[in-house]
Amino acid sequence: MEVEDGAELCFPQFPNTSCIKPSPWPQTVTIMFYSICPITVTLNLVIIISISHFRQLQTPTNILLLSLAVSDLLVGLVVMPVQIFNRTSCWFFGDFVCATYILIGIIIPLATISDIVLISVDRYVAICDPLHYTTKVTVRRVKFCVCLCWLCSVTYSLLYVKDLPTQPGSYRYCYGECFIDPDNISLLFDLFINFIVPVTVIIALYLRVFAVAVSQARVMRSHITAVTLQHSVTPKAKKSELKAARKLGVLVVVFLICVCPLCILTWVDYNWIVAFIHPLSAILFLSNSCLNPVIYAFLYPWFRKAVKLIVTLQILQPGSSETNML
């Protein structure tokens, strides 16, 4: 491995196999993103406590938000700080910790996008088949789907990095860094599974949801009273479901805005523009875990009420789990 003159090595005693120390980020940028970590953890912890504690919030849709909050919590607790450290310093924690981090780094994004897909399916059934929503989408079924998604994420990640435990160091070209450099076939397959398929499903479902939503809104405005399967739901119920679809639509759109740049840059030829944009796209991708709770704070009154009850410790009072949150 050739080293440029004046380059600082991670392991100077091994000049032929040591990686070059990464260029440090500006101190203000580093401080900013290290401060995002506790904010991400705190806000998502509030969501987890709220939905887990208050019975009224334990609806099928909120169970999906709970699963999303768990993955976002892990991003703020594990992925984000280690990623920032890995981008600003040499890796000194060995092969096992690196393989574990890579494993977690694959599980969490896959679980996150699976939750977004399930949220899209939930809204699709609620809007397009409202009469059968309560029978098709139950808390038990949603919990089973969430567990299945996490199990599939773990299984896929184990298959994706199956060679790491038996071939330590096979994922890198020098010592002092932690990343996986898959071949083009594996990368294409991963992009197909983790991005193209789920994003296509999400967009297709929400296009259908909003097409039906527009149709139902026109029906309500024109006061059509014909008895059909689609129009047999009361206007109040329709309005509630449409409002929920719009709120979750914001969540989905923000997710796509944060995820798409990083996935697209993966297949763009490397140049100075990509070199400049890629770190920003990675930061945007990680910041989505902090943005989700902020979206809840603006769109969901129950979230603001839950924060107040948790901060004032009223959640510790007997019978607080039966509090009216809606």
Residue 296 is encoded by which pair of tokens? 């809840």
Residue 256 lies in a domain: yes
Residue 32 lies in a domain: yes
| Spatial distance between the Cα atoms of 87 and 89, rounded to a whole number of angstroms | 6
Max mean pLDDT range (2-11, 78-87, 217-226): 78-87
Q: What is the pLDDT of residue 1?
A: 47
Vertex 45 angle, CA 105 and 247, to 5°: 90
Under DSSP, is residue 9 helix (H, G, I), strand (E, B) or coil? strand
How large is the average pLDDT for residues 291-310? 85
Residue 19: inside a domain, yes or no? no
Burial of 105 (0-12, 13-18, 19+ CB in 10 A): buried
What three-state secondary structure class fits 3? coil
pLDDT tens-digit map of 168-213: 445 556 777 777 766 677 778 878 888 888 888 888 888 888 787 7
Q: Does the residue 302 lie in any domain?
A: yes
Q: CB burial class (10 A; 0-12, 13-18, 19+) of residue 51?
A: buried
pLDDT of 98 reads 82
**pLDDT band per the 50, 70, 90 thresholds, residue 3:** very low
The answer to whether residue 129 scores a pLDDT higher than 60 is yes
The domain of 140 spans: 27-322
pLDDT at 258 over 90: no
Task: Give the number of domains in the chain.
Answer: 1
Asked if residue 162 belongs to a domain, the reply is yes
Name the pTM for this structure.
0.82
Those residues with Cβ within 8 angstroms of residue 300's Cβ, 6 or more apart along the chain or in another chain: 247
The CATH number given to whatever domain includes residue 197 is 1.20.1070.10
Most confident of the ranges 81-95, 131-145, 232-246: 131-145
Give me Rg for the CA atoms of the chain: 23
CA dist 233 to 218, 223, 248, 324, Å?
14, 13, 21, 25
Mean pLDDT over 138-156 rounds to 93
CA distance 271 to 291: 30
CA 284 – CA 258 distance, rounded (Å): 5
Residue 106 makes CB contacts below 8 A (sequence gap 6+) with 153, 156, 157, 160, 161
Phi, psi of 18 (to 5 degrees): -85, 145
CA distance 235 to 69: 32
Specify the pLDDT at position 219: 66
Whether residue 39 lies inside any domain: the answer is: yes
Question: Around Cβ 208, how many Cβ atoms within 10 Å?
Answer: 15
Q: Give the pLDDT mean for 23-28.
A: 68
Does any domain span residue 16? no
Q: Judge contact between 104 and 70, C-beta under 8 A.
A: no
pLDDT, mean of residues 240-245: 65
Asked if residue 160 belongs to a domain, the reply is yes
Residue 139 confidence (pLDDT): 92
Q: What does the alpha-carbon distance between residue 301 and residue 161 come to, in Å, rounded to a whole number? A: 42
Which residue type occupies 31? Answer: I
Helix or strand (DSSP H, E) at 38: helix 27-53
